[in-house]
Amino acid sequence: MVRINPSILAADFVNLERDLKRIPSADYVHVDVMDNHFVPNLTFGLQMAGRIQDVSPLPLDVHLMIDDVDRWAPDYAALGAFSVTFHAEATDAPVELARRLRAMGSRAGIALKPGTPAEPYLDLLAEFDQVLVMTVEPGFGGQGFMPETMPKLQQVRDAVDAAGVDVWLQVDGGIDLSTIAVARDAGADTFVAGSAVYGADDPDLRVSALRAAAAGHTH
């Protein structure tokens, strides 16, 4: 199954509710939370995410690029977010945090920066609902896709398949019509696309095109 999650980092923040309604065929809305500490950029926090949750016609796929996720991640689950993904680099207790998020009714995801190895987490896959393999350095939208992250993505896919667990494999960064098949071939099934969607004249038509491009390839 292919899932397309447009990132509202590329939407018009002044007309966010309008832009949320311009992607009706998408699966989830990807919400990038940045704190200007974990990454060198600042977007918005809990209050804004709460308002997005209030008005979004689609479930929220929250991606926390912040420090102190043990403190803050459960608050995003409490908002009713469908999925809350935190960075492996921001916590010393990823399994404990994932269990807290699941207990609150959210799916729990763990994200890995391009330079973070997957090996420490491969035996823990059953504790997560999603693994996000970053295909750019987190912090800014509009970056170029990093093909050198594909061996790690394939490594996680192989481990998920070998373990027989239901874990979604997400990619985020530089995903567009020219790169989505590459990520799909390496095992991704959930794709975050920001500029590729909201930079199009018809964002929803672009969502459909991305879905078709991904569905045409198998890993």
164 close to 157: Cβ distance less than 8 angstroms: no
52 close to 79: Cβ distance less than 8 angstroms: no
Q: How big is the CA angle at 207 (ends 205 and 212), to the nearest 5 degrees?
A: 95
66, two tokens: 């912040």
From 27, 32, 35, 129, the catalytic residue? 32
How many angstroms separate the CA atoms of 158 and 122, rounded?
A: 10
Nearest to 94 by CA among 67, 122, 128: 128
Is residue 172 annotated as a catalytic residue, yes or no? yes
From 27, 61, 129, 172, the catalytic residue? 172
Residues identified as active-site: 32, 172
